[in-house]
Chains A and B, each alone.
Chain A
Amino acid sequence: MKKRFVALGSAVLALTVALIPSQAQSVSIDYWLWDTSQEPAYKACATNFEKQNGIKVNVIQKGWDNYWTGITTGMVAGNAPDIFANHLAKYPEYALNKQIVDIAPWIAEDKVATNIYTGDLFKLWGRAGKQYGLPKDWDTVAIIYNKKMLKDAGISEASMNSLTWNPKNGGSFERLIQRLTVDGSGKRGNEAGFDKNTAKQWGWTSLNGNSSGGAYGQTEWSHFAVSNGFKFNDGPWSTKYYYDDPKLAESLQWQADISLKKGYSPLFKDIKATRGDTLFTSSKVAMIFDGSWMIGSYKANSKFDIGFAQLPVGPKGRKTMFNGLADSIWVGSKKQKEAWQWLKYMGSAACQDVVGGFGVVFPAIPSAVNKALAAFKAKGADVSAFTKQALAKDTTFLFPITDNSSEISAIMEKATDKIFLGQSDAASTLTEAAPKVNALFK
């Protein structure tokens, strides 16, 4: 059935191609990505690439929500893009179903240097000797704060990089959010008579979108949990998660109590159309944690000065998730070799320096990161908090990459929803959810 679809699809494709009057004899390939802010950067790369190789790249952007459905149904229908930006939570399934090309033989053939990338980024895209992409960027999570609100509360910006946190009393981080919370009568969270029900400014929110974090809590809860001694699993391709670890329950419970019991953070149930990041940019929340890919968005949407600081130091040190993207080639592509040339180009310093110069994302090659830092600085943002964390020893942990990620997400999203709604406590919720996750691997 599938073969017939593919045949039909390619016949239609061939017909369409035949009907379009060819302007030049050059080959063109389709490349998809989901991030609008990176589209101009990769279009610039594509222009340079075409000059060099004579291969035209159609850079096509699709929103995240439809992106994956588009890729998968495209693979079935035979019209998926030749090459596309891939995500760690998504590529294992495509690899398992033999839909993306193993580029390891080509890497060997072309003698591509793979040790030029920051940290373990290259390793994240391989499984059992096979390789499904070359790293093109990375991201970490840091604190973003409202400079005016800090000043009003008498807090120095210098103190922001040495905050401490623990799940028992929240450390200096909890005292900070307490002070940054203001109720209807102007009382701060640390003053007598503070009424959480009338809060008009909150110190912090851990929820920057409108999700409770789910399975990975990349920007929502993972940093607290891991800095408290939690680990997701035993490394890439594990078949068991440790979601019932009391260390995780402890840190999630602290986060839930900050909003539900203490009122220093907006309630999860209220964060719907107005997302966490909107609350920050509309001056309702003084601090937020978010990923480096969001720098541009915060810069553009905040009508006040914003600053960036490293995450608080927990009982096991400072921890941030380290995640990165790469590009994968679809096995059904008729132009795999051309796609490989483009993939190789995007993974090289030539393209990553250009992307870095746009100041929207941190490229995977260290020299290009400096270009990005300079570009951010030119826009008036000191974002070294993100890079310092990425380079510091033992500060990063990798995105927990395994099979079954969509179903794990579905199970864990419900669990963290329950915890942040206060429907049940973290420990019992996680004890119930963990076996369901591990059952997926049986």
Chain B
Amino acid sequence: MKQAAAIKVRTTLQRKAWWRAFLNREAITAYLFILPAMLGFAVFYLYPTLRGLQISTTDWNLLSDPDFVGLENYQTMFQDPVFWNALRVSGIYVLLNIPVQTIVGLFLAVAMDRLTRSMLVRAALIVPYLISNVIAAMVWLWLLDPFLGIVNSALTTLGFSYQSFFGTPELALPTIAGVNIWRHMGLTALLFYAGLQGIPRSVYEAAMIDGSDEITTFWRITLPLLRPVTVFVLVTSIVGSFQIFDTIAVATGGGPVDATRALVFYIYDNAFKFFKMGYASAMAITLFAILIFFSIVQLRLFRADQSDLS
């Protein structure tokens, strides 16, 4: 009895403390600073997400009034072979895209850090990222064209047979992954490069005095100290990679057959070609859940909130 009362007192005290912290002048200032961002978050992210959740429980074609159908859309989803295929395509795409992009980006960053301080090199690296996705896809579509593309003409000149890069189910997805690796590796490199600048030079000097070679220094010092940046790069690029859409829309339209019909593209098909808003929302919510899961797992695994520097 006494114990229960004590707990009650403690919780009310805690609540009061929380309120006091909330009403604290400094806290209010802080909240005011966050307010514009929170407003944007609420209007552009939170509300649409909740609305999406609501639409996912309806049968709605945009033009007529929606009918509430409960979880029927989710049921349909589990039985839809195209959905499972789309999920598989997205998964394979992430596996093709992320490791290469991250490793190449890291390599470029370390090479830049050790070899050059040139602004020009850094600028050149980021250029592909500054090109819009649609234009990048168009350019590669022409570069890799079987009839007129420079890549195929180089291949045949060197004695190889030409390739239908975007045209066969086997090559289409790896080609799209390739285009996006090309586009994003510069940004990844730049992020890693920025991370590298945060590692004190004294650590490297110490390593050098201890007789550590380049490779050992990389594995023992650079990589562990880069961990927070690595997590940031991985989380954002995996989320971005799962959302692959524009390159597919421009280069293959989801084909040939279903080889590049990734999840977001299939969601688009359902929403804006078949006008099945409910079903599209159900899949979007599912993708949301998958991405949240992956992000949390990564943050936990990599202890993102701690740095080995401190």
Interface residues of A (CB under 8 A from B): 1-2, 69, 72-73, 75-76, 93-94, 97-99, 267-274, 279, 284, 406-407, 410, 413-414, 417-418, 421, 423
Which residues of chain B come closer than 8 Å to A76, judged between CB atoms?
Answer: 62-63
Known: A270-B164, A272-B164, A272-B167. A99 touches B63 (CB 8 A): yes
CB neighbours of A270 from chain B (8 A)? 146-147, 164, 167
B215: shortest Cβ distance to chain A, in Å? 43
Residue in A closest to B272 when the chains form the complex, CB atoms: A69
Closest-by-CB residue of B relative to A423 is B257
> What CA separation (Å) do A321 and B146 show in the bound complex?
31
7 additional A-B pairs beyond A97-B64, A98-B63, beta carbons within 8 Å, are A1-B66, A94-B63, A270-B146, A274-B146, A274-B147, A279-B147, A414-B255
With contacts A272-B145, A273-B145, A414-B258 taken as known, whether A72 is within 8 angstroms of B63 at the C-beta atoms is: yes
Q: Distance (Å) between the CB of B51 and the closest chain A CB?
A: 9
**Given A69-B272, A270-B147, A273-B148, A97-B164 contact (CB < 8 Å):** no
Compute how far the CA of A284 lies from the CA of B167 in the bound complex, rounded to whole angstroms: 19
Q: Which residue of B lies closest to A2 (CB)?
A: B65
Looking across the interface, which residue of chain A has its beta carbon closest to that of B277? A76
Residue B31 lies at the interface, judged by CB distance under 8 Å to chain A? no
Compute how far the CA of A421 lies from the CA of B256 in the bound complex, rounded to whole angstroms. 8
> How many A-B pairs fall under 8 Å by CB?
74
A272 touching B272 in the complex, CB below 8 Å, given contacts A414-B257, A421-B169, A423-B169: no
> Can you give 20 contacting A-B residue pairs, CB < 8 Å?
A2-B65, A72-B62, A72-B272, A72-B275, A75-B62, A75-B63, A269-B146, A269-B164, A270-B146, A272-B145, A273-B149, A279-B147, A284-B147, A410-B269, A410-B273, A414-B257, A417-B255, A417-B256, A418-B257, A423-B169
> Would B255 and A413 count as touching, CB distance under 8 A?
yes
A residues in contact with B258, CB < 8 Å: 414
Note all chain A residues with C-beta closer than 8 A to B256: 269, 417, 421
Is B168 part of the binding interface, using a Cβ–Cβ cutoff of 8 Å? yes
User: Of all chain B residues, which has the CB nearest A411?
Assistant: B82
| Contact of A410 with B274 at beta-carbon distance under 8 Å, contacts A269-B256, A272-B164, A417-B257 already known | yes
Q: What CA separation (Å) do A115 and B148 show in the bound complex?
A: 50
Which chain A positions have C-beta within 8 A of B257? 414, 417-418, 421, 423
Known A99-B63, A423-B257; judge A274-B145 contact (CB<8 A). Answer: yes
Residues on the A chain within 8 Å of B169, using CB:
421, 423
Query: B274 to chain A: which residues have CB within 8 Å?
Result: 406-407, 410
Q: Chain B, 251-266, contact with A by CB distance < 8 Å: what is the 0/1 string?
A: 1000111100000000
Question: A209: shortest Cβ distance to chain B, in Å?
Answer: 11
Q: How far is the CA of A69 from the CA of B66 in the complex (A)?
A: 19
B141 touches A272 (CB 8 A): yes
Does any Cβ of A come within 8 Å of B166's Cβ? yes
Chain B residues with Cβ below 8 Å from A272 are: 141, 145-146, 164, 166-167, 251
Query: How far is the CB of A151 from the nearest CB of chain B, in Å?
Result: 24
Instruction: Closest A residue to B276 by CB, please name it.
Output: A407
In the assembled complex, the Cα of A284 lies from the Cα of B147 at a distance in Å of 10
| Interface 0/1 of B41-68, CB less than 8 Å to A | 0000000000000000000011111100
Name the distance in Å between A247's Cβ and chain B's nearest Cβ. 24
- Complex CA gap A75/B61 in Å reads 12
* CB-contact partner of B167 in A72, A269, A407, under 8 A: A269
Chain B residues contacting A97 (CB-CB under 8 Å) are 61, 63-64
B218 at the interface (CB under 8 A from A): no
Q: List the A residue with the shortest CB-CB distance to B54.
A: A1
Instruction: Map CB proximity to A onto B126-150 as digits: 1 under 8 Å, 0 otherwise.
Output: 0000000000000001100111110
